[in-house]
Amino acid sequence: MTTVTSTATIEVLREGQGAYLPVDLDAFRAHVRDHKDRSLTPRLMSAKEAVSRFVADGDYVAYECNYLMRGPNAVVHEIIRQQKRDLWLAGKFTYVDVALLLGAGCTSKADCGFFLSTPGIQKAIDAGTFEVFEYSNVVMALRLQAGAMGVPFLPVRSLGGTDGFEHSGAKLIRDPYSGKPITIVPALNPDVAIIHVHQADVYGNARIFGTGISDVDSALASKKVIISAEEIISTGEIRSAPGSTSIPYYAVDAVVESPFGSYPGTCPGYYGSDPAAVMEIFQAIMSDTVPAYLDKWVTPFATFQEMLEKRVGLQKLLEMKRREAPAREGYRA
């Protein structure tokens, strides 16, 4: 038997000074108890209904992966259409999303893992209308994992020693077991997660194929979860291969049927990207002309579907699907 030595307090060696979304585990549990539907009740709805019911001004929003790669773009467009304001974005693994939502007037803050910095972002930071807190991609994913585990923080072996640490909610503590320094980062429980998946049933049991960033953790960590799905499949099909279910229904608040929902990006295994339209969004954010982009791709249309029909067209969509054929292996239950 070894003796257990108890220390009265855990020594905090250094603390980051960045604001972070407060963590309240029991408030989260109470929210789950009171608002998550644990019955098998269909929750299929339009993007319009999902966004108006589950995205509020000022919400902290996590999106998965990004606008170019299996992004929940049908839902992003709807957020822009409904002019949601003051969103706080989990800006990890991001090329264009932060700049797009800033240009659309929807966001005022972001936690940074990586997002392409643009003239619009620069202007907003300088004007004090957009605030950034510093993490890294993996640290953001780990914060979501802590959120998805129902614990207040997790230790991590990066971020320590960086200036990002100083502008984050991280702390360097003395590990009470080994006595060695270790960084801890606060859990992240977003108000809302928006995630595009390959398949889901009407209850929200969802299948994601291929690699991803933090889809499952974002779903479980978030108070409100909107899933958009390429295909709605039967619950019988879900039950036939339960090992392929990525997200279970009780984490999910809304399911939106969104074929080609990641356009102009790729939904791996289903369709490739539209390279010309991908370049267009880069041009829009780098030349600070997001409003013109929105006037072309978002605001004239009542739905994402209508945009696909009128602006993109069947021929292009089928071409994107055909181009994906050689790489389809592995993308099925």
User: How near is the Cβ of 67 to another protein at its closest, in Å?
Assistant: 10
The two structure tokens encoding residue 313: 């067209």
Site for another protein contains 128 (CB under 8 A): yes
**How far apart, in whole angstroms, are the C-alpha atoms of residue 225 and residue 46?**
14
H or E element that contains 192: strand 192-200
CB 99 within 8 A of CB 121: yes
Site for another protein contains 31 (CB under 8 A): no
Judged by CB under 8 A, the chain residues 288 through 327 that form the site for another protein are 324, 326-327
Binding mask 74-93 toward another protein (x if CB under 8 A, else -) reads -----------------xxx
CB 118 within 8 A of CB 286: yes
Q: Which residues contact 182 (CB under 8 A, 6 or more apart)?
A: 155, 157, 160, 172, 173, 174, 175
Q: Which residues contact 261 (CB under 8 A, 6 or more apart)?
A: 72, 73, 74, 75, 196, 228, 229, 230, 267, 304
| Interface pick for another protein out of 16, 164, 204, 259 (rule CB under 8 A) | 164
| Interface pick for another protein out of 42, 242, 275, 300 (rule CB under 8 A) | 275
Pick from 282, 284, 271, 283: nearest CA to 312: 271
Q: 59 vs 324, which CB is nearer to another protein?
A: 324
Site for another protein contains 114 (CB under 8 A): yes
| Interface pick for another protein out of 73, 107, 183, 199 (rule CB under 8 A) | 183
Chain positions contacting another protein, by CB under 8 A = 65, 68-70, 91-93, 95, 112-117, 121-122, 125-128, 132, 134, 136-139, 141-142, 145, 156-164, 167, 172, 180-183, 210-217, 266, 268-269, 272-273, 275, 278-279, 282, 324, 326-331
